[in-house]
C-alpha cells in the first residue's frame, strides 16, 4: 500500500509561507505541495508563486493558468492531503 500521506491542517499550512526558514507550501485541489524547490523555475517569477504560499492556491492558480499541469510538474513535491483541523487527533 505504500506510505500513508501526511495530513495537513489549515493551521499547519498557515506556517509554511516560505519565510523564517520554512518551506513554502500550498494546496491545489485538496493536495498539499512544497513549492520551494520549484521556486527558481517558475516562468511567472518567485513573487507571483509566493502569492499562494501558506494558503489554498486552487482558485488563484486556476484563474491564471488553468492549462498548466501542476500534478505532473509537482508530483515529487506532493507532501500530503489537506484536511480539516477536526480530522486530526491532538
Ligand atoms: C506562468 C507553472 C503558480 C503566476 C507559468 C508557466 C508555468 C507555470 C508552466 C508558463 C505557462 C505558459 O507559458 O503557458 C506554475 C506552477 C505553479 C504556479 C507549477 C504552482 C506551483 C502560480 C501562481 C501564480 C502564477 C500561484 C500567481 C499568483 C504566473 C504568471 C505567469 C505564469 C503571471 C505568466 C508569466 C509570463 O508569461 O510572463 N506558471 N505556476 N503561477 N505563472 Fe505560474
Q: What is the DSSP letter of 17?
A: B
Residues 9, 90: Cα–Cα separation, whole Å? 12
Going from the C-alpha of 42 to that of each of 8, 29, 55, 57, 68, the distances in angstroms are: 24, 20, 18, 15, 11
Residue 73 CA, closest ligand 1 atom number: 19
- What does pTM read for this prediction? 0.90
Q: Quick check: CB of 83 below 6 Å from ligand 1?
A: no
Q: Quick check: CB of 25 below 6 Å from ligand 1?
A: no
Q: Model ipTM?
A: 0.84
Q: Quick check: CB of 44 below 6 Å from ligand 1?
A: yes
Residue 32 in grid coordinates: 498539499
Q: For the residues 10-16, what does the mean pLDDT come to?
A: 98
Task: Report the range of poorest mean pLDDT among 13-22, 42-51, 80-89.
Answer: 80-89
Per-residue pLDDT tens over the stretch 55-86: 999 999 999 999 999 999 999 999 999 999 99
Amino acid at each position: 500500500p505504500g506510505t500513508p500521506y501526511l495530513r495537513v491542517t489549515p493551521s499547519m499550512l498557515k506556517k509554511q509561507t516560505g519565510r523564517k526558514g520554512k518551506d513554502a507550501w500550498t494546496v491545489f485541489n485538496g493536495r498539499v505541495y512544497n513549492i520551494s524547490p520549484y521556486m527558481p523555475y517558475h516562468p511567472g517569477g518567485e513573487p507571483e508563486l509566493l502569492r499562494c504560499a501558506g494558503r489554498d492556491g486552487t482558485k488563484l492558480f486556476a484563474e491564471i493558468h488553468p492549462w498548466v499541469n501542476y500534478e505532473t510538474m509537482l508530483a515529487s513535491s506532493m507532501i500530503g492531503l489537506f484536511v480539516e483541523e477536526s480530522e486530526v487527533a491532538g
